């Protein structure tokens, strides 16, 4: 018997139609909805930041990359910065040029340079430590 014949078999079709769709108990839907409600109470809304941790890492990496590019390129007009015994060559003109492009310009003083550097290192190292902790690299 072909599939078409099986499909058209009126007797079998009528048996299934007559056997009908069975119905579960009257509380069926309520039980499911109650379970869903209980689930949502047991698992309250978990805060999800708009910018994910990974996105923050990428942003931090880009920030540091820009910072390194601007500050630590050995340009002829680079100024020396003595930082904890390390002599870093800072191209202040590049920073000024970059900042003047975005809105304003100012001259970097040594104190500002150090603060700027410290702030970047602090933020970046904290982000890296936080990320590594969350991935159980170390407890």
Partner 1 sequence: MKYQEDSFYINKVLKGNLPSYAILIEKHKGMAYTLALRIVKNREDAEEIAQDAFLKVYNSLSSFKQESKFSTWLYKIIYNTAISRFRKKQLDQLSIEDMAIPDSLQEEDHDGLDIMHLRERKKIISTAISRLKDDESTVLTLFYLSELNIKEIEEITGFTDSNIKILLYRGRKKLLFELKKILKEEIVDIL
Mark the segment that binds partner 1 (CB under 8 A) among 35-43, 51-59, 73-81, 92-100. 35-43
Q: Which of 33, 75, 112, 119 binds partner 1 (CB under 8 A)?
A: 33
**φ/ψ (deg, to 5) at 83:** -125, 105
- What token pair was written down for 14? 């009528």
Task: Tell me if 19 contacts partner 1 by CB under 8 A.
Answer: yes
Task: Tell me if 38 contacts partner 1 by CB under 8 A.
Answer: no
Q: Which of 4, 16, 47, 134 binds partner 1 (CB under 8 A)?
A: 16
Who contacts 34 (Cβ-Cβ below 8 Å, separation ≥6)?
Answer: none
Count residues binding partner 1 (CB under 8 A).
28
Instruction: Give me the least distance between CB of 61 and partner 1, in Å please.
Output: 31
Who contacts 63 (Cβ-Cβ below 8 Å, separation ≥6)?
Answer: 120, 124
Residue among 39 and 134 whose Cβ is closer to partner 1: 39
Residue pair 81/113 in contact (Cβ under 8 Å)? The answer is yes
Instruction: Give me the least distance between CB of 46 and partner 1, in Å please.
Output: 14
Q: Which of 4, 8, 20, 79 binds partner 1 (CB under 8 A)?
A: 20
The contacts found for 96-100 with CB under 8 angstroms, 24 or more apart, are 98/66, 98/70
């Amino acid at each position: 018997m072909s599939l078409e014949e099986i499909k058209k078999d009126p007797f079998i079709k009528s048996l299934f139609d007559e056997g009908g769709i069975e119905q579960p108990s009257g509380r069926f839907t309520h039980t499911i909805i109650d379970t869903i409600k209980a689930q949502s109470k047991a698992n309250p809304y978990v805060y999800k930041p708009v910018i994910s941790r990974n996105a923050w890492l990428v942003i931090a990496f880009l920030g540091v990359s820009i910072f390194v590019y601007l500050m630590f390129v050995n340009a002829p007009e680079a100024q020396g910065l003595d930082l904890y015994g390390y002599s870093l060559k800072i191209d202040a003109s590049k920073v000024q040029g970059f900042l003047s492009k975005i809105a304003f310009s100012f001259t970097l003083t040594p104190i500002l340079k150090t603060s700027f550097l410290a702030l970047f290192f602090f933020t970046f190292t904290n982000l890296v430590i936080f990320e590594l902790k969350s991935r159980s690299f170390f407890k």
